Amino acid sequence: MNKSIYSTYLMLFLILASQILLNAQVYEFTSQTDNTILQHRIFKDSNYFIETVFVVNPPQFKFTRGGFYTESANRIEVIFEFNSNIESDGLKKQTYSQDTNWEMVSKEKLPLEGKWLMGGRVTDTGEQRRDLSRSRKTMKMLFKGYFQWTAFNTETFAFFGSGGGRYLAGEEKYEETIEYFSRDNSRVGQKLSFSYDQKGKDWYHNGLSSKGKPLHEIWTSRD
């Protein structure tokens, strides 16, 4: 192969590889309103985008919204599956520009990375599975040390709650540190430890909830 052609192919491959990596990251930036510093956290993988806004001190959840997106140049067109502020802003889609003030905060890759749907629970009588095609969903996104779960309805845009923060995973142990929680700001800072087992597309999640109640959940990978 001609050396110049090979160099061109190599450059194109490196550009494509870098774009794939950039499409799977967590970003943060801050804004200010009424003398309050707002923390914006962006989850962005190859096809899904979430923006969550919260106050660090004192802890206060503001809003979250997310959905599948398309991207052209520096414009990100998001069609929302959920928007916790839908009743006040009415937004079902939005265009974002990936600004230079977005700081990439992603850490090293960890087990369990990806999008997961609540697929059911393990009870004394066995597994109780959910229909994942229904509009009522609970989704958890884990990426490079950060997590967020959100409960929503894709048809009615009803919002049932969300929480997120940082996580660690390894050797069948999983730990979350809550940094925002729409249902109870007092839960911020709480650490939750679980055991886990991944079987194919299923992640079995066993431990205590933020209220101290036993749970044994089944999360299924969302393609």
Q: Which tens digit of pLDDT belongs to each residue from 128-141?
A: 999 999 999 999 99
Of 193, 152, 153, residue with least CA distance to 176:
193
Encoded tokens for 91: 């937004």
Identify how many contiguous H helices and E strands the chain contains and give both numbers.
2, 16
Helix residue ranges per DSSP H, 26-150: 86-89
First CA to last CA across the chain, in angstroms?
Answer: 38
The helix or strand, by DSSP H or E, that contains position 84, with its residue range, turns out to be none
Domains of the chain, earliest start first? 3-104 (2.40.128.300), 114-221 (2.40.128.280)
pLDDT at 73: 85
Strand-strand pairing, 159-170 and 191-199: unpaired
Residues of the chain with pLDDT under 50: 6-22
Strand-strand pairing, 136-143 and 114-123: antiparallel
pLDDT at 23: 57
Cis peptide before 111 (omega within 30 of 0): no
pLDDT at 21: 40
